[in-house]
Amino acid sequence: MSLPPGLEIPTNADIIKACNEFETYETRDVMYKVALSHMQTHWKKPEDMADAIGVLLLTWNQSFYRYHGNFDIKRLEDCIIDNMDLLTEFKERTISSLCDEDNEQIRKLFNGFNEALQGASSVKSAVSTVKTLHLLAPEFFPLWDREIAKRYKVNYDRNPDESYIQFCKYSQTMHEHIKHYKLPPLKKSILKIMDEYNYCKYTKGWI
């Protein structure tokens, strides 16, 4: 699938530059590493998995929850339990294997976690939902924020689940190029590296 008009596949040098800028300026990334390690260590332990998600969201999306109130941790645990088998399947896959037959399952997970992660004011966050899906399956689910979604021409204020499926397909296109690049040993998934590029270029304008 081609990328939306105005977007180009980054070069090998672009990706390396973005990762360097991200490491230099984005101090919150340590919480991603902590949350990811906790998630992987405590897989299939819903209470601990929910804690890992909380560590990430209350750091990376703290402004949303400060304004709308925190999510219900028990509701999140229940969502993890209800979807554990499906989450485990996606955890073992990479986005290279994405196909149209996955759409229904992605939609199910997106909508389930979108409900579970809403703030106390019942306002939902497509950003929190996607960050959570990525933490649960970091090689399959790509990350976005509002500015990144805007640049990829996917509007998550309207039909966010369908917008995310479209974003996954665009991300698969980028992934198929970037996975062949010569990159230093970064100990990150390719999707995390792609997010660092998108964040540096579109969200922050650092590159």
| Segment 120-128 mean pLDDT | 96
Closest CA to 125 of 82, 52, 36, 65: 65
At 27 the pLDDT is 87
At 200 the pLDDT is 98
Residue range 144-183, pLDDT digits in tens:
999 999 999 999 998 999 999 999 999 999 999 999 999 9
Asked if residues 53 and 132 have their Cβ atoms less than 8 Å apart, the reply is yes
Residue type, 186: L
Tokens 């994405």: give the residue. 98
What is the pTM assigned to this prediction?
0.96
